[in-house]
Amino acid sequence: MCELNCLLVKLMEAEVRQRHPNADEREIRLRVASRWLPPELMQKAFGWNPKERGF
């Protein structure tokens, strides 16, 4: 199960890199995290608003 989860994260990172080629590693991680964390938590914990910045 852990291996599948790691594979899923790598696939999401690759897709984010393709959509946002100039994104740095922090932005990539935030965009991936915003796919499974609630927007309110993303804003409160990381100052990232997926509604404004997308994922």
pLDDT category at 37 given cuts 50, 70, 90 is very high
Alpha-carbon torsion 37, 40, 46, 52, what sign? positive
**Cα pseudo-dihedral 19, 24, 27, 33, rounded to 10:** 80
Q: What is the pTM of this model?
A: 0.84
Mean pLDDT of 12-27: 96
Overall residue count recorded for the chain in this entry: 55
pLDDT by residue (tens digit) across 38-49? 999 999 999 988
First to last CA, the chain: 24
Mean pLDDT of 5-13: 95
